[in-house]
């Protein structure tokens, strides 16, 4: 049954406030699954079940799909679609409130999702800050947002792009035209694969580091010295020690330098705790 037919059958009206743009082309779902290279030993966490079109394709290939959907209005549709499915576990709750530590015993954990734009940043932060170790994550984003995550140009840096690239490598999987969704959004989408790099986890606390980077970018047009003066008493001396020009702006500083900056900060006295 087509997406439009499922929605019509249950008289479902998509909620703009939840960023609901449902994938309607099953060939795109199949291509995503094919390029994900998932297998029968994998456990997949999906964020945003939606109409279940991607869930259905994933379930054909893996040991189990644990999928989260915030909109309980989709429950009748999803219950019919996955009636009798032994490897699909649907939770009608907000993923942002889920305790991810309960998945710590899953040996081959992966994430796959078509994430609404308005919570893309929050989802990424939650996974990198709270998730047990996972093999990779494959997410669909609005194209412009995805391009910012992959940004190598300093001028395109943001706190999130620095944070994401600290903890993983990011690669583009495929583009997805806006015409593959109901309703048709104003922009195209892109699918990215995030491969975790755990070398910094033991020495750099993800939540703390994210707070620190946000402070560094708190006033993008101001200098890094100005943005850090409230948490570092001797800001100029501190920046000079890591070879940063105090008059630099946040986007002028390389990713590796932010890591060095943060590690240096941890070793100094007189820094306010908790950022």
Q: Can you point out the beta strands (E) in 211-255? A: none
41 is an annotated ligand-binding site residue: no
Q: What percent helix, strand, coil does the chain show, rounded to 5? A: 45, 15, 40
How distant, in Å, are the alpha carbons of 38, 80, 138, 145, 164 from that of 32? 10, 24, 9, 19, 22
114 is in an annotated binding site: yes
Q: Is 99 annotated as a binding residue?
A: no
Measured in degrees and rounded to the nearest 5, phi and psi for residue 108 equal -120, 75
| Residue 23 annotated as part of some ligand binding site | yes
End-to-end distance of the chain based on CA atoms, in angstroms? 52
Beta strands in the chain (DSSP E): 22-23, 43-47, 64-68, 88-91, 109-114, 136-142, 168-176, 181-182, 189-196
Rg of the chain in Å (alpha carbons):
21
* Bind-site residues for S-adenosyl-L-methionine: 21, 23, 48, 69, 94, 114
Residues belonging to the binding site are 21, 23, 48, 69, 94, 114
């Amino acid at each position: 049954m087509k997406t439009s037919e499922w929605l019509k059958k249950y008289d479902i009206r998509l909620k703009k406030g939840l960023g609901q743009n449902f994938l309607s082309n099953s060939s795109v779902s199949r291509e995503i699954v094919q390029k994900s290279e998932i297998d029968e030993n994998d456990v997949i966490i999906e964020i945003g079940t939606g109409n279940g079109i991607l869930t259905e394709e994933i379930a054909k290939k893996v040991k189990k799909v644990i999928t989260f959907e915030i909109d309980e209005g989709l429950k009748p549709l999803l219950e019919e679609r996955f009636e009798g499915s032994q490897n699909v576990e649907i939770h009608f709750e907000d993923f942002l409130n889920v305790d991810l530590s309960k998945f710590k015993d899953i040996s081959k954990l992966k994430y796959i999702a078509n994430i609404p734009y308005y919570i893309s940043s929050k989802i990424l932060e939650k996974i990198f800050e709270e998730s047990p170790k996972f093999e990779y994550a494959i997410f669909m984003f609005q194209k412009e947002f995805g391009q910012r995550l992959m940004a190598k140009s300093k001028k395109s840096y943001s706190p999130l792009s620095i944070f994401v690239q600290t903890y993983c490598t990011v690669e583009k999987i495929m583009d997805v035209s806006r015409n593959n969704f109901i309703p048709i959004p104003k922009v195209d989408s892109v699918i990215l694969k995030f491969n975790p790099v755990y070398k910094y986890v033991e020495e750099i606390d993800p939540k703390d580091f994210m707070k620190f980077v946000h402070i560094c970018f708190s006033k993008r047009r101001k200098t890094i010295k100005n943005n850090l003066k409230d948490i570092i008493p001797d800001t100029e001396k501190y920046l000079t020690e890591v070879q940063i020009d105090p008059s630099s702006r946040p986007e002028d500083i390389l990713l590796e330098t932010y890591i060095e900056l943060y590690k240096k900060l941890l070793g100094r006295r007189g820094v306010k705790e908790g950022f």
